[in-house]
Structure 1
Amino acid sequence: MNKFFAVLFHVKKSKVTTNGTAPIFMRVTIDGERIEISTKRLVEPNKWNAAGQKAVGTTEAIRSLNVYLKTLEQKVYEVHRKMMEEQEPLTASTLKAMLLGGHKPANIKSLIPIFKEHNQRIADLVGKEYSKGTFDRYETSLKHTLDFLLWKYNLTDIDIKKIDNEFITSYDFYLRSQRNCNNNSTVKYLKNFKKIILICIANGWLEKDPFAKYKNKVNEVKREFLNSAELEILATKNWLVSVYPK
């Protein structure tokens, strides 16, 4: 899924210095999240063209400033492109961290490594605390989660702070529409996924439970008893099968 992405330069006239110049800031917006970065450059407010995103003038200082701003803008677009190609969790904050430090901020927690670590712990306890079937169910849930991220967001991972009610309801819809899961299977897969979310909450990585408004529940399955005629058929049927060719 393409994200809204914009880069804008603006002058903070509220911070005019004693010599009449004001700082130029770069504003980066990604899907409504906005961050600002100082360009560490100053300009006289009356020499700034807001529409053209550049300083106005023919002096060498003005030309040098505009070249610098254009180079900085290109660097932002290059970091954005690289993060998209490498399918990094992309937010204004993570882009700023990559731009300034070359790496994601330490407090960013990604979903898939947490999910994989959980499943590895289950695998290590198969035969002790868990059955092989339990491990298989969580591995299937992980696969569905990866497929959903690719289908919905064109990502292979996501910042857990981006998981909200809309994410959960979209995941529910994906399981029903794209995986053809019935209600009970859908709810059970999301129950497995919720365990990963609860791990994140317990560790303080998430403040809010994205499942708080998710209300679907397992439907009761009614199993019909065999009637007397069907029981009679089973009682009288010859279950021996010849293993020799006729």
Structure 2
Amino acid sequence: MKSNQTFGLHYVLRLNKERKGRYPIYARIVVNKTRVELSTKQYIHKSDWDQARDKAKPRTDELRLLNSYLEELRAKIAMHYRELKLSDEGVTAETVKAAYLGISIESLNDGGRTLLWLVKQHNTIMKEVLRWGTLKNYHTTERYLREFLKTQSRSGDIPLRRLTYSFLTGFEHFVRTVPLKNYDRCTNNGTMKHIERLKKMSAWATRNEWIAKDPFVNYQLKFQHKVREFLTELELQSLENRHFDDPVLQKVKDLFVFSCYTGLAYADVMALQPGNIVAGTDCFSWIQICRVKTNTPVDVPLLDVAKKILEKFKREQAIEERDTIFPYVPNQVVNRSLKIISEICGFSKRFTFHVARHTFATTVTLCNGVPIESISKMLGHTKITTTMIYAKVVKTKISEDMVALREKLEKAKKPKQLYIAV
């Protein structure tokens, strides 16, 4: 760069950001006629600051150490300024600050679009689109990203163009091995969910042309498919016939069984209103709702067991004058109660409310010959491949299908009798 560059750095107190009688010290960088300020993350009492000498009054060892730190910081920033001059880059106060923080000039030229900027933009926009239960998972992914970025850059962030395949593999290893909470390391599928959320944000950035190439082009998500728990026919009958003296356990049991015969998720059961129950042209009453999670329309005919439970709670609703058919029971209370119910009934499987939805898909419908396409519609799946997971786990259904096939083949092999008219 030309020799007519001017560079200066001095320290100032931010008097409008007082904290317990102490004020933050900022480094003010000046290059030619451009100026920026950089937080030193140090605080000092106003009476301990020597404004004329641009440093703390060395009254104590702590203040003398502070002066040493400020001199080291001055030297580092000056070094970055000299390096920028030698590289013949356009030197401004902003580029000097960016160089010290580890932010590339390319990032500045890109309008300051960094990875954390992308995450913030995505979460702000999706706040009006995603439910909180989904959005909070994005915030957890953001926490992992912030922790990982601290190991990758002095500034704790990177330009979007540095979101590469090698960054993804490094992030995957970090999530697998560094827990946010002590002794709570992320599982394989949990790790993949974090990577999947980053992939969605990366694709969004690519569509907006903020990055030239999606770094996930050659990256493969490695989910481990687990067998989904569901109640067998005997277990479901045992649960239906059991009565609990505890009113909360009985209420949760009824909600769970209702879901077993309708396939509705917890949020959909809690949101069900009288207007969602309609009479069909057939012999069924129907549940017509849009799923809370996906806003997908769902039509489910009411089987007798579900209808009896519904009528019971509708009578209670009329007395209590609530908008929804079922009284609100927090999800934590439901799953805690189901754990108790599971122990009382002697069920060895992991028992959550979503097991009821799996039971509807397998024991109630698939094992009784309901076509997979119909099950998919009633569950509100947008892809039938999602529903096909249940077909893979129901060995009883496979066995029944093969028995039927064997009988059909044996029948076809039998010689046909000829009847001669007399």
Once residues 132 and 74 of structure 1 are traced to their aligned partners in structure 2, the CA distance between those partners, rounded to angstroms, is 43
Once residues 158 and 138 of structure 2 are traced to their aligned partners in structure 1, the CA distance between those partners, rounded to angstroms, is 18
Give the drift of 1:164.
Answer: 0.6
The AA in structure 2 aligned to 1:206 is I
The AA in structure 2 aligned to 1:218 is F
- Secondary structure at 2:134 match in 1: helix
Query: Is the 2:196–2:221 Cα contact (8 Å) retained in structure 1?
Result: no
Inter-CA distance 84–147: structure 2 relative to 1 (3 Å threshold): farther
Once residues 97 and 168 of structure 2 are traced to their aligned partners in structure 1, the CA distance between those partners, rounded to angstroms, is 28
Give the drift of 1:130.
Answer: 2.4
Match of 2:204 in 1: 199
Please, which moves more after superposition, 170-179 or 135-144?
135-144
Once residues 195 and 233 of structure 1 are traced to their aligned partners in structure 2, the CA distance between those partners, rounded to angstroms, is 43
Inter-CA distance 73–227: structure 2 relative to 1 (3 Å threshold): closer
The AA in structure 1 aligned to 2:140 is T
The AA in structure 2 aligned to 1:184 is N
2:189 corresponds to which of 171, 184, 187: 184
Once residues 175 and 74 of structure 1 are traced to their aligned partners in structure 2, the CA distance between those partners, rounded to angstroms, is 33
- Secondary structure at 1:181 match in 2: coil
Give the drift of 1:148.
Answer: 1.2
Once residues 118 and 237 of structure 1 are traced to their aligned partners in structure 2, the CA distance between those partners, rounded to angstroms, is 48
Once residues 212 and 151 of structure 2 are traced to their aligned partners in structure 1, the CA distance between those partners, rounded to angstroms, is 26
* Pairing 1:164–2:164 present: yes
Give the drift of 1:225.
Answer: 4.6
Match of 1:68 in 2: none
Once residues 232 and 167 of structure 1 are traced to their aligned partners in structure 2, the CA distance between those partners, rounded to angstroms, is 52
Larger radius of gyration between Structure 1 and Structure 2: 2
2:122 corresponds to which of 112, 118, 122: 118
Give the drift of 1:186.
Answer: 1.0
Match of 1:155 in 2: 155
Once residues 138 and 246 of structure 2 are traced to their aligned partners in structure 1, the CA distance between those partners, rounded to angstroms, is 39
Match of 1:146 in 2: 146
Inter-CA distance 202–242: structure 2 relative to 1 (3 Å threshold): closer
The AA in structure 2 aligned to 1:76 is R
TM-score (norm 2): 0.33
RMSD: 3.4
Which aligned pairs between 1:94-133 and structure 2 lie closer than 5 A?
A: 94=106, 104-123=108-127, 125=128, 129-133=129-133
Once residues 172 and 136 of structure 1 are traced to their aligned partners in structure 2, the CA distance between those partners, rounded to angstroms, is 20
Once residues 196 and 83 of structure 2 are traced to their aligned partners in structure 1, the CA distance between those partners, rounded to angstroms, is 39
Inter-CA distance 206–228: structure 2 relative to 1 (3 Å threshold): closer
- Secondary structure at 1:119 match in 2: helix
State the Cα deviation string for residues 145-177 of structure 1 (Å, max 9, x = none).
111111343432210001111000001101111
Once residues 234 and 83 of structure 1 are traced to their aligned partners in structure 2, the CA distance between those partners, rounded to angstroms, is 64
Once residues 194 and 80 of structure 2 are traced to their aligned partners in structure 1, the CA distance between those partners, rounded to angstroms, is 43
Structure 1, unpaired ranges of 5+:
1-37, 42-71, 98-103
Once residues 142 and 224 of structure 1 are traced to their aligned partners in structure 2, the CA distance between those partners, rounded to angstroms, is 31
Inter-CA distance 84–241: structure 2 relative to 1 (3 Å threshold): farther
Give the drift of 1:107.
Answer: 4.5
Inter-CA distance 241–215: structure 2 relative to 1 (3 Å threshold): same
Please, which moves more after superposition, 186-195 or 233-242?
233-242
Inter-CA distance 114–242: structure 2 relative to 1 (3 Å threshold): closer
Query: Is the 2:102–2:154 Cα contact (8 Å) retained in structure 1?
Result: no
Give the drift of 1:226.
Answer: 5.0
State the Cα deviation string for residues 183-236 of structure 1 (Å, max 9, x = none).
111111111111221122112121111112211232211034556886687578
- Secondary structure at 1:166 match in 2: helix
- Secondary structure at 1:153 match in 2: coil
Once residues 232 and 111 of structure 2 are traced to their aligned partners in structure 1, the CA distance between those partners, rounded to angstroms, is 62
Match of 1:75 in 2: 81
TM-score (norm 1): 0.53
Inter-CA distance 240–88: structure 2 relative to 1 (3 Å threshold): farther
Once residues 145 and 154 of structure 1 are traced to their aligned partners in structure 2, the CA distance between those partners, rounded to angstroms, is 14
Structure 2, unpaired ranges of 5+:
5-77, 85-92, 180-184, 249-422
